[in-house]
Amino acid sequence: MTKCNTLTKKTINEIETLKGEYEYIFCTNAWNVVFDKLSNEIYGVSNLVDIFKSCNNVALIISDPSNKYKRFLEKKNTQLPNNLIFINYSHDFIDVIKLSDAMIRYTSTDGDSLSIHETLFLRRDVVATSIIERPEGCILFSNRMEIENILNTFCKFKGSYVKYRYRDNIEKILRLYRKLDK
């Protein structure tokens, strides 16, 4: 079992149960329920919950340390399917990534996401919106239909998307700093 310092034994057991019941485990994260200037959820969790209701072979772990997303969905009377769990206490998202097959970054606005780099470094798949330039190896989508097609492909061909080996760029960065320092 992968070492996870910030997840409770109960959460690890819930994730292990998901892994036993579903072919592919995705994760996503959101620090709060926030909206962009067009009133879209920045982290797209409501859309993901809705999408995963119709996915039979995949599951989703939602990293929600504020616990606000789950309460937001409950206020909207959103029925939560059995193939997802919320982690609603403070934890390191990298511990969730380690127990997942892939990470979804379903954002309406974004910067250079650290969690994408962490996921690629751990040689996990990344499925992300194409709203900004993403690192090599990300599987990009621009709308809900595209992510649904990607999830269906994962259901049929587990692991076929793994195509990129994340390169550690520390040496390149150090060489650049040394060159600039001269």
* Number of structural domains the chain divides into: 1
Does any domain span residue 4? Answer: no
CATH number at residue 122: 3.40.50.2000
Element housing 135 (H / E)? none
What average pLDDT does this structure show over 116-123?
91
pLDDT at 102: 93
> What residue numbers bound the domain in which 74 lies?
9-181
Is residue 169 domain-resident?
yes
Closest CA to 59 of 90, 14, 107: 14
- Residue 134 covered by a domain: yes
What is the mean predicted confidence (pLDDT) over 81-89? 94
Of 55, 79, 56, 34, which Cα lies nearest the Cα of 147?
Answer: 55
Domain membership of residue 2 (yes or no) is no
* Total residues found in the chain within this entry: 182
Q: Which amino acid is at 17?
A: T
Number of helices and strands (H, E) in the chain? 7, 6
27: helix, coil or strand?
strand
Q: How far apart are the first and last CA of the chain?
A: 47
Phi and psi angles of residue 26, each rounded to the nearest 5 degrees, phi first: -100, 160
Contacts 24+ apart (CB under 8 A), 109-117: 109/36, 109/42, 115/29, 117/166
3 lies in a domain?
A: no
Nearest to 50 by CA among 91, 20, 80, 30: 80
In a domain, 120, yes or no: yes
Residue 17 lies in a domain: yes
pTM over the 0.85 mark: no
Residue 112 has a pLDDT of 83
Residue 164 pLDDT class (50, 70, 90 cuts): very low
Q: Is residue 119 part of a domain?
A: yes
